């Protein structure tokens, strides 16, 4: 069975209600079947990445957002691990540095955008400036409210210059997050992942959900769509994202570059 991935798409111009999307939805798939399909897709993703690199006409930007423990690192490991590291770069956006704060909020992001032929993965992104900045009241409302339009314009410019943009919100339930946080507390090998600050963010769950709903609603565009991926089941999350990425990479008019004319008929001795 193959997932109908378009059902995860946030249609441009629609209003998102995360309460209406089941984070445990698996589309009828079972774990064994999903893992087998993912193994096949990884080979396809590797081939498509080689084609992307060889043509140099497009780049791919994958944006991963989600509440703590939603699985951003897991997606990078289990899905994006299909890519050749020479053609793939992961950028994690943390608290801005003093230098970054001295520029506009998109400055540090634009520097990390992949060039044509490359894959770029953002672990968190420019959307933090309408999420954590909003929830923690780091800037006035009048400042972050204008950023939705700036983000849309920024992404449109990138798309016009050959960048394929896919944005994934990893949708987990509050109950699943609690289980994952408890696992980190109880497993010595996962202690390094636990931060007390995660509990502070968890206490603001409703405010973060509201901020995400607005970002998803205002910033899903044809050239830079948002997908809400049910992520309570990690195996389902990984398969869904793999299928969407493969579908996107197969859509441009990419063909293997032909042999250069000077090489026609050569006989190598």
For the chain, what is the mean pLDDT? Answer: 94
- β-bridge partners, 167: 63, 226
Distance of alpha carbon 71 from alpha carbon 155, whole angstroms: 24
Candidate from 8-17, 56-65, 173-182, 247-256 with smallest mean pLDDT: 247-256
Q: Tell me the average pLDDT across 208-230.
A: 98
Backbone angles phi, psi at 31, to 5 degrees: -60, -45
14 contacts: CB under 8 Å, gap ≥ 6: 217, 220
pTM of the model: 0.95
Distance of alpha carbon 190 from alpha carbon 183, whole angstroms: 8
Superfamily of domain 5-251: P-loop containing nucleotide triphosphate hydrolases (3.40.50.300)
Contact 172, 70 (CB under 8 A): yes
Picking from 209, 242, 199, 248, the residue whose alpha carbon sits closest to that of residue 225 is 248
Sheet strand arrangement including 226-230: 88-92, 119-123, 59-66, 163-171, 226-230
| pLDDT band per the 50, 70, 90 thresholds, residue 1 | very low
- The pLDDT assigned to 3 comes to 63
pLDDT tens profile 114-132: 999 999 999 999 999 999 9
pLDDT tens profile 139-190: 999 999 999 999 999 999 999 999 999 999 999 999 999 999 999 999 999 9
Within the chain, residue ranges assigned H as helices are 31-55, 72-78, 98-101, 107-112, 132-135, 141-144, 147-160, 174-186, 196-202, 205-218, 234-250
| % pLDDT > 70, the chain | 99
Distance of alpha carbon 170 from alpha carbon 72, whole angstroms: 8
């Amino acid at each position: 069975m193959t997932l109908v991935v378009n059902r995860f798409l946030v249609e441009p111009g629609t209003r998102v209600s995360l309460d209406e999307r089941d984070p445990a939805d698996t589309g009828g798939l079972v774990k064994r079947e999903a893992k087998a399909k993912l193994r096949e897709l990884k080979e396809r993703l590797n081939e498509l990445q080689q084609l992307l690199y060889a043509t140099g006409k497009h780049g791919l930007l994958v944006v991963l957002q989600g509440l703590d423990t939603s699985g951003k690192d897991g997606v990078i490991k289990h899905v994006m691990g299909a890519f050749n590291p020479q053609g793939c770069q992961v950028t994690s956006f943390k608290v801005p540095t003093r230098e970054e704060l001295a520029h506009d909020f998109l400055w540090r992001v634009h520097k990390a955008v992949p060039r044509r032929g490359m894959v770029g993965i953002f672990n968190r992104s420019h959307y933090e400036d309408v999420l954590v900045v909003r929830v923690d009241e780091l800037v006035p409302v009048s400042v972050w409210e204008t950023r939705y339009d700036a983000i849309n314009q920024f992404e449109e410019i990138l798309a016009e210059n050959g960048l394929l943009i896919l944005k994934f919100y990893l949708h987990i339930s509050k109950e699943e997050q609690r289980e994952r946080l408890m696992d980190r507390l109880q497993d010595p090998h996962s202690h390094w992942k636990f931060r007390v600050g995660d509990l502070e963010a968890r206490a603001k769950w409703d405010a973060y959900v509201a901020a995400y709903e607005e970002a998803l609603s205002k910033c899903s565009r044809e050239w830079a769509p948002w997908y809400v991926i049910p992520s309570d089941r990690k195996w389902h999350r990984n398969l869904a994202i793999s299928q969407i990425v493969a579908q996107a990479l197969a859509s441009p008019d990419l063909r293997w570059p032909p042999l250069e004319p000077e090489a026609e008929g050569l006989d190598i001795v």
